[in-house]
Amino acid sequence: MQRKLTARQMQMIALGGTIGVGLFMGSGSTIKWTGPSVLLAYIISGMFLYLIMRAMGEMLYVHPTTGSFSTFAREYMHPVFGYLTAWSNIFQWIVVGMSEMIALGGYFRFWWPNLPEWIPGLVAITFLCIANLVSVKMFGELEFWFSLIKVVTIILMIIVGLGVILFGFGNGGHPLGISNLWTHGFFTGGAKGFIYAIAIVLASYQGVELIGITAGEAQNPQETLVKAIRSTVFRILIFYVGAIFVIVSIFPWDELNSVGSPFVQTFAKIGITAAASIINFVVITAALSGSNSGIYSASRMAYTLAEEGQLPKKAVQLNKHGVPYITVIAISLGIGIGVILNVVLPLIYKDASQIFVMVYSSSVLPGMIPWFVILISEIDFRKKKADELVNHPFTMPWAPYSNYVTLVFLVITLFFMFLNPETRISILVGVVFLAIMTVLYFVKFHPKEVAKAKQQSKQD
């Protein structure tokens, strides 16, 4: 593979992986559980996310490998965890990509109501597959611009929102202030509602670990990784917290379900008549960004599995641009199933948004597996690599205690996701998937590894 990803591309890749359709279209769903206190949910989740990223950065600084957390799980935990982590990442991104292909059809029908919903998805996945085959630099450049569009939109929304709050733009010159933060209640759903909200917020942050997979194809990986991790989490916090602050200040939280997309309404409030079209364009780029990231991330994890002999060896073949073309095509075809579902599922379910949520939510638990693996692997990493940590400039703060606290936080969140009827099915889907892959590993691959280890010990 070729190290062609620059620092600016890596920072935008990490930002783009987490700022998605959920913020632009679904921010109302996180607010309904706990009201304005959802701001605290984003801040608390962001703090723990930063610790996860620091743990990953500490290991990647020493070993900047394409396998990233999957390789670390294999080396510092057990090979089965490396296998599960790789497949969880593949499953997560294929499912996310499928859901984005489903969503695209609805976005384009905003402008062309009679357009068959499968056509935008088919065009999009074909374009993204070709772009990813051209070179990793092309993937990085596409993701940079997709992410830039989202970031600029959020910044403009925050500026416009602050104008409404502080100066009364679009409100006859009467500043709205921030009284909506407490007038209708702050912790509106109690402790249970707040933890339910944290679960949804954590799911929206999934994808930030994508930056770890780019390590094997990054220019000056140590330097670019440190810069990207340090800046990315704080930027994500600013964008998420800033956007949500504006939303819950301008609109009473209990009226959000009736206003549609808060982003559209905020722009429309100051007289931008094309607000709905602008946000529709942005969510299309967000969907393309999610699928683009999915093709890249899942194809590199599949490449890692092939290197370990857990997928056909042909999958390690690179084209002349240094791209694992077989895995890129395979993942693109997997995401393309979303195009087929766009034809089949409407015959069963009439509500398009219900189809999107059903598919997307099943990625939540597999998407959290890398976080558990990063935190647990780093504990053993510190024991085995103590010499390399002496002059290490990017160590995990307060380790290993910060690891344990973060792990407890994730476990509590998963427990409440299971209790919540709206997220229970997504957890069960993840559990079933992980159980199947664990059995497959111990039946198919573990005996071979044991035999290989015995043979190696005899030779030694």
Q: Each residue of 341-398: pLDDT tens digit?
A: 877 877 776 655 566 666 777 788 898 999 999 999 999 999 999 998 888 888 999 9
At 190-240, the pLDDT tens digits run: 888 898 888 878 877 887 777 777 776 777 777 878 877 887 777 778 888
What confidence tier does 280 reach under pLDDT thresholds 50, 70, 90?
confident
Cα dihedral 12, 18, 19, 22, rounded to 10, equals 160
pLDDT at 356: 63
Which 8-state DSSP code applies to residue 312?
Answer: -
CB 12 within 8 A of CB 143: yes
Q: Residue 72 corresponds to which tokens in the numbers above? A: 């670390």
Whole-angstrom distance between the N-terminal and C-terminal Cα of the chain? 32
Amino acid identity at 390? V
Task: Report the alpha-carbon distance of residue 181 to residue 252 in Å, rounded.
Answer: 8
For residues 17 and 293, is the Cβ–Cβ distance under 8 A?
Answer: yes
pLDDT confidence of residue 221: 78
Mean pLDDT across the stretch 166-189?
90
Instruction: Determine what percent of the chain is predicted with pLDDT higher than 90.
Output: 35
Question: Is residue 211 within 8 Å of 18, Cβ to Cβ?
Answer: no
**pTM (two decimals):** 0.88
Banded pLDDT at 452 (limits 50, 70, 90)? confident
Q: With b meaning 16 or more CB within 10 Å and e meaning fewer, what string describes 120-151?
A: bbbebbeebbebbbebbbbbbbbbbebbebbb
d(CA 445, CA 347): 40
Query: Between residues 128 and 231, which one has the greater pLDDT?
Result: 128
Exposure class string for 374-402: b at 16+ Cβ within 10 A, else e = bbbbbbebbeebeeebeeeebbbeebbeb
pLDDT for position 267: 84
Reported residue count of the chain is 460
Predicted pLDDT of residue 258: 65
The pLDDT value given to residue 172: 85
- Please give the pLDDT value at position 59: 92
Q: Rounded mean pLDDT of the chain?
A: 85
Contact 328, 133 (CB under 8 A): yes
Q: Rounded to whole angstroms, how far apart are CA atoms 96 and 128?
A: 15
In whole angstroms, give the CA distance from residue 36 to residue 189. 10
pLDDT: which is higher, 51 or 203: 51
> Where do the H-state alpha helices sit in 110-189?
118-134, 136-167, 180-183
Domains plus CATH for the chain?
Answer: 7-454 (1.20.1740.10)
Each residue's pLDDT tens digit, 401-421: 999 999 999 999 999 888 888
Q: How far apart (Å, rounded) are the C-alpha atoms in residues 413 and 95?
A: 21
From 112-126, 182-196, 251-265, the region with the lowest mean pLDDT: 251-265
Higher per-residue pLDDT: 244 or 117 = 244
Q: How far apart are alpha carbons 155 and 239 in whole angstroms?
A: 7
d(CA 128, CA 138): 10
What integer pLDDT is reported at residue 135 of this predicted model?
A: 84
Report the pLDDT value the prediction gives residue 1, as an integer from 0 to 100: 59
Enumerate residues 6+ apart whose C-beta is below 8 A from 126: none
**Contact, 381 vs 58, CB < 8 A?**
yes
What pLDDT score does 6 carry?
Answer: 73
Tokens of 161: 């929102």
Among residues 65, 84, 78, which one has the least CA distance to residue 305?
A: 84
